[in-house]
Amino acid sequence: MSKLIIHGGKKLHGAVTTNSSKNAAMGILASIPLFSGTVVLDDLPLIEEVKRMLEVLSSIGVRVTWLAKRKVALQVGAISLRGLNREAFVKMRSGIMLISSLANHFKTFQLPRSGGCKLGKRTVNPHIYALDDLGVHVAVVKGAYRVTVGKRRGRQVVMYESGDTAIENTIIAAVLTPGKTTIQFSTGNYMVRELCYFLREAGAKIKGIETTTLEIEGVKRLRPVKRYSIMPDPIESMALIAIAVTTRSPLTVKACPIDFLLLELEKLRRMGQRFTVKNRRRSKSGYFTLVDITFTPSYLVAPSDKLDARPFPGINIDNLPFFVPIVTQARGKTLIHDWVYENRAVYYLELQKLGAKMTLYDPHRIEIEGPTVLQANEIICPPALRPAANLMVAMLAARGISILRNTYSIDRGYENLYQRLNALGAQIEVIDE
């Protein structure tokens, strides 16, 4: 565990580039057991969540070879679960997606229950129902998923819930399933598209990638992908945007996947935030549009309507938390409705320790009044990635010296973040405890 000592209240200056996407990388990594041969991934984010997945893959028979700092070769050999790294597996939510790729290797097997952020009850029913339709039967037993593989056949799958991870799990299951699979109520969100584009380069037959209906014709095998570059992370872009807005700093956030930030930016524009968008270009893979966004210090007013998230193209579920520190600086009252998770809005109350004025109406709705001059304090990170990052954002704006303990939650999703912020004028000390 590490702690941060943050000297807050400083204006940041300059430009910062968005790093590669955690969620996009995790879906692709979960699909690796589908392959035979070697897959090369470039621009892999060097974050704790990715490290855990690589540890798991290595433990079941995938040879992991680093070719450069963020470039890795994954050679799939004989897959075995006898040496499964259980400790790494239970630390990540994305491990559940390995069910669908391992179903091509075993008729019966068992995996530990997935971990990840502690955000209250997180149903796995959307995964179970969709995989069951494709002949992969999952029973949730104490501490484990027990999987039995029956007759595989393509068919219509209606997603019980439009969760991105459940959709990715279904895609991974469908690409080698004989016949045609139609997945309805997909999202077209960035990580779903990234997985589809990657698998299509491997020979998967997938149509409707940018829509809410996917059509997948099963193939017999996938060919190794010689090189695929992971896209920049729109959620990291939003975290950097929140830092610029909350600290009222003249910052440029580069390589933002604009199609997945448009609504967030529109909300900010309506609140009075000034920014310019420039340098439109394609990502290295060629599939995504990137831009650079320059923010000008602005005085904000609270939005006239509540802020809530929904599946794409709404405000991204992972981006909603970053409006919490932002609206502490907006004149008026803002209602944030975080309907997806039972506990996440409760974690927002930690900002009260920095002086934020908040009223929690229920586990999903919180009202925030601003503008507030935030003050330094010492806080332990909650066991959830985005609420933990929220505290760091607010501490950068708070006057005085704050201490943020147990930062593993942040390190799961952000690479070299503190050093990059220091290069912009922040003063963050990282101390191992």
For the domain covering 22-229, report its CATH number.
Answer: 3.65.10.10
- According to CATH, where is 3.65.10.10 located in the chain? 2-19+232-432, 22-229
How far apart, in whole angstroms, are the C-alpha atoms of residue 190 and residue 312? 9
Q: CA-based diameter of the chain, in Å?
A: 62
Q: Which residue has the tokens 């994954």?
A: 74
Report the DSSP beta bridge partners of residue 68.
71
How far apart, in whole angstroms, are the C-alpha atoms of residue 414 and residue 421? 12
User: Looking at residue 322, what is its pLDDT?
Assistant: 97
Report the DSSP beta bridge partners of residue 330.
300
User: Looking at residue 290, what is its pLDDT?
Assistant: 98
User: Which residues have a Cβ under 8 Å from the Cβ of 220 and sit 6 or more positions away?
Assistant: 176
For the domain covering 2-19+232-432, report its CATH number.
Answer: 3.65.10.10
DSSP letter string over 53-68? Answer: HHHHHHHHTEEEEEEE
Q: What angle, 0 to 180 degrees and rounded to 10, lies between the N-to-C axes of helices 385-397 and 234-246?
A: 30
Cut 0.85: pTM above it: yes
Strand blocks (E) in 219-273: 228-229, 251-257
User: Looking at residue 119, what is its pLDDT?
Assistant: 41
Selection from 28, 2, 40, 14 nearest residue 295 by Cα: 14
Residues of the chain where predicted confidence (pLDDT) is lower than 50: 117-119
In angstroms, the Cα distances linking 245 to 37, 220, 241, 416 are 46, 50, 6, 21
How far apart, in whole angstroms, are the C-alpha atoms of residue 278 and residue 282? 13
